[in-house]
């Protein structure tokens, strides 16, 4: 492959899987390749410290959005989710190299990393916006917690294991009273994560919708529904021995009876870079084994 003298992305930042020294070799290989194609290469300081990679300038994650034209995340979906929450507000696009398991968000296989990144630098790529969520906890006239998420927001039971009771309103209208282990509010990106394992629908990323998926509801008539992503969803904690708010799989905030959690589409979107040949349906066939022949 001939060098790209004018790469499509001139400054590329690299982020590796959290606390993994296994990324050092692939990161060094990718960094040298990018530099050889005319890119300025930066490495996330935390990644450099954990992996021992010291060949390229280091930057704090908070600086990456201002300095990079593209961020390459080498890891799994968890690594991409963490990077997305931090960097989506800056508008810098992300692309993932899969060093995890499923890899719904990391398009490039490790074995094809150099070939695919060469094509991306040559301008063979597409950018796809992904919806994010904005959530806030309201308590006694205050807002003690706010966050953004790419996959989902989850209100669920805590350590006691008892069912919680929540009231769900959409755009101010009462929808249902739910007794369950919890409720997932998922974006189309998150519809293939926790929501899918809870029998929620798969939403194509181009669908302007959100999925509300009850977790082990006490009444089987409580079913998943899809709503417009222009909706404001309110989850009020009616009864709970303890309850927690999670975002993208991270436990984040302890909820109390009387708390209200509001969830809506965030103003910012994640900009995902896909290599040539990317297909959402092909990804589903591969990850969910839809092409296997039953015998």
The CATH code of the domain that includes 171 is 2.60.200.30
Identify whether 64 is part of a domain.
Answer: yes
Based on the fold, state whether residues 17 and 93 are members of the same structural domain: yes
Q: CA separation (Å) from 246 to 85, 147, 164, 241?
A: 14, 10, 15, 17
Clarify whether residues 40 and 106 are in a common domain. Answer: yes
Q: Would residue 169 count as lying in a domain?
A: yes
> Is 4 among the domain residues?
no
Q: What pLDDT score was predicted for residue 251?
A: 75
Determine which one of 77, 181, 248, 259 is catalytic.
77
What are 82's strand-pairing partners?
Answer: none
pLDDT at residue number 233: 98
Return averaged pLDDT per consecutive 10 residues of the chain, 295 residues in all: 73 88 88 96 92 89 95 94 95 92 88 96 97 97 96 92 94 96 97 96 97 94 95 96 92 92 97 95 92 64
**Could you tell me if residue 199 is inside a domain?**
yes
Q: Do residues 176 and 96 share a domain?
A: no
Within a domain: residue 3?
no
- Taking a C-beta distance cutoff of 8 angstroms, is the pair 233, 185 a contact? yes
**Same domain, residue pair 98 and 178:** no
Verify that 210 and 245 share a domain, yes or no. yes
Q: Is 256 domain-assigned?
A: yes
In terms of domains, do 138 and 240 share one?
yes
Whether residue 263 is found in the same domain as residue 142: yes
Give residues with Cβ within 8 angstroms of 278, minimum separation 6.
Answer: 107, 126
Query: Do 211 and 283 reside in the same domain of the chain?
Result: no
231 assigned to some structural domain: yes
pLDDT on residue 256: 95
Active site residue 134: no
Cα angle value 165/168/171 (rounded, 5°): 165
DSSP string, 146-215: EEEESSEEEEEE-TT---EEEEEEETTEEEEEEEESEEEEE-TGGGGTHHHHTTPPP--TTS-EEEEEEE
36 vs 29: CA distance, rounded Å: 11
Query: Do residue 92 and residue 140 come from a single domain?
Result: no
Inter-residue contact 87 to 64 (CB < 8 Å): yes
Is 1 within a domain? no
Q: What is the spatial distance between Cα 101 and Cα 273, in angstroms, rounded to a whole number?
A: 20
Among candidate residues 150, 163, 175, 285, the one with its CA nearest the CA of residue 232: 175
pTM of the model: 0.92
The total of other beta-carbon atoms located within 10 Å of residue 269's CB is 17
* 97 and 45 together in one domain: yes
Same domain (yes/no): 136, 121: no
β-bridge pairing 94-98 and 108-109: parallel
CATH number of the structural domain spanning residue 80: 3.40.50.10330
pLDDT at residue 183, rounded to an integer = 98
Residues 34 and 151 grouped into a single domain: no
| Number of structural domains the chain divides into | 2
Q: Which is nearest to 108 in space by CA: 248, 289, 277, 288?
A: 277
Q: Give the structural domain span for 79.
A: 11-125+275-287
What pLDDT, on a 0 to 100 scale, did the predictor assign at position 53? 80
- Predicted pLDDT at 131: 98
């Amino acid at each position: 492959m001939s060098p790209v003298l004018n790469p499509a992305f001139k400054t590329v930042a690299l982020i590796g899987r959290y606390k993994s020294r296994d990324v050092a070799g692939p990161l060094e290989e990718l960094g040298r390749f990018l530099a050889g194609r005319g890119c300025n290469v930066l490495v996330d300081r935390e990644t450099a410290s954990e992996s021992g990679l010291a060949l390229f300038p280091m930057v704090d994650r908070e600086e990456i959005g201002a300095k990079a034209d593209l961020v390459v995340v080498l890891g799994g979906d968890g690594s991409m989710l963490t990077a997305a929450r931090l960097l989506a507000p800056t508008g810098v696009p992300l692309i993932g190299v899969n060093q995890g398991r499923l890899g719904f968000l990391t398009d490039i296989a490790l074995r094809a990393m150099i070939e695919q990144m060469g094509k991306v630098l040559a301008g063979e790529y597409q950018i796809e916006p992904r919806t994010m969520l904005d959530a806030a906890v309201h308590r006694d006239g205050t807002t003690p917690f706010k966050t953004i998420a790419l996959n989902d927001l989850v209100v669920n039971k805590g350590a006691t294991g008892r069912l919680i009771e929540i009231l769900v309103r959409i755009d101010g209208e009462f929808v249902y009273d739910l007794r369950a282990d919890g409720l997932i509010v998922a974006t189309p990106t998150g519809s293939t994560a926790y929501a899918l394992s809870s029998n929620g629908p798969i939403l194509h990323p181009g669908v302007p919708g959100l999925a509300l998926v009850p977790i082990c509801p006490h009444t089987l008539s409580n079913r998943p529904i899809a709503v417009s992503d222009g909706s404001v969803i309110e989850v009020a904690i009616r009864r709970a021995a303890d309850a927690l708010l999670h975002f993208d799989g991270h436990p984040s905030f302890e909820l109390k009876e009387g708390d209200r959690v509001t969830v809506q589409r965030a103003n910012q979107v994640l900009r995902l870079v896909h290599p040539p040949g990317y297909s959402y349906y092909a990804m589903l066939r591969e990850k969910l084994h839809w092409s296997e022949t039953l015998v």
